[in-house]
Amino acid sequence: MKIEEGYLGVEDVITRGWTRGLITQYLGHPDRMFPVNHWKNYSGKYAWRVSTVELAEMSQGFERSFLHSARIRRLYEYEIEDVIDRIYLLREVGLPASMTDREILSLPIAAPSGGLLVPPV
């Protein structure tokens, strides 16, 4: 089954250079579960909003973790450059255009102390 537009499944995210460990660390629980038409898959297909993935990719922590992972996985230079180029492009452009106002308001804000201020729910 095809995933709805605006969402990326695990395979899609891995195609962008992620590993399952990076997914767990930076994306956490899926934004949505899509039904799967297969008797062995009871839980469904995990999917994250494109904006969620792009925000994670924009972070310094993701860049460091990706580079560390790329060295361990021995990725080709062009594979690493593709991901790094996308990260810098996302940072240059800013917040993903697909973000809703609610998503933007729920973003953690950098505190003067260097920590994060998370808005109340």
Instruction: List phi, psi (to 5°) of 46.
Output: -70, 140
> 9-65, pLDDT tens digit by residue?
999 999 999 999 999 999 999 999 888 877 666 677 899 999 899 999 999 999 999
Do the Cβ atoms of 118 and 107 come closer than 8 Å?
no
Task: Give the pTM.
Answer: 0.73
Instruction: Report H helices in the chain.
Output: 10-15, 20-26, 50-58, 60-73, 77-93, 101-105
> 56-101, pLDDT tens digit by residue?
999 999 999 999 999 999 999 999 999 999 999 988 887 665 666 5
Residue boundaries of the structural domains of the chain: 7-96
Cα–Cα distances (Å) from 73 to 2, 35, 38, 70, 106, in that order, read 29, 32, 31, 5, 34
